Amino acid sequence: MAAIPSWLWLAIGLIVSVTSWYADMTLFFWLGCAFVVVGVAKIVIGFMLGKNETKAEKKVVQRLAPVQGQMHPAHQYYRCPCGNPVKVSDIFCSYCGRRLR
């Protein structure tokens, strides 16, 4: 299941809040405000977590060589510098424990 992007939370929240305000539906107004709060929180958390990666850590991920023919083709795998295949989404190598990004 895909994650809902923060801009969609904001858009839905604003639409629900504005329309329910004019339709005098208090419950839906507050529900729309909750969606806006979740959208803003996702943006702030994403911004804070994105800044934690240093340039050196990003370069490690770029240097990983793709694994050819050993894994299922639907999944993207790379090799850690130790030689162990790791998923693109992995943060640490499961064999040596090296931080990949």
Domain spans in the chain, listed from the N-terminal domain onward? 6-50, 55-87
pTM passes above 0.75: no
**Full pLDDT tens readout for the chain, 101 residues:** 467 888 888 999 999 999 999 998 899 999 999 999 999 998 888 878 765 555 555 555 445 445 444 545 555 777 788 878 888 778 888 878 888 77
Tokens 């850590």 label which residue? Answer: 57
79: amino acid identity, one letter: R
Taking the C-alpha atoms of residue 80 and residue 82, their distance in angstroms, rounded to an integer, is 5
Cβ of 86: how many Cβ atoms within 10 Å? 22
Burial of 16 (0-12, 13-18, 19+ CB in 10 A): buried
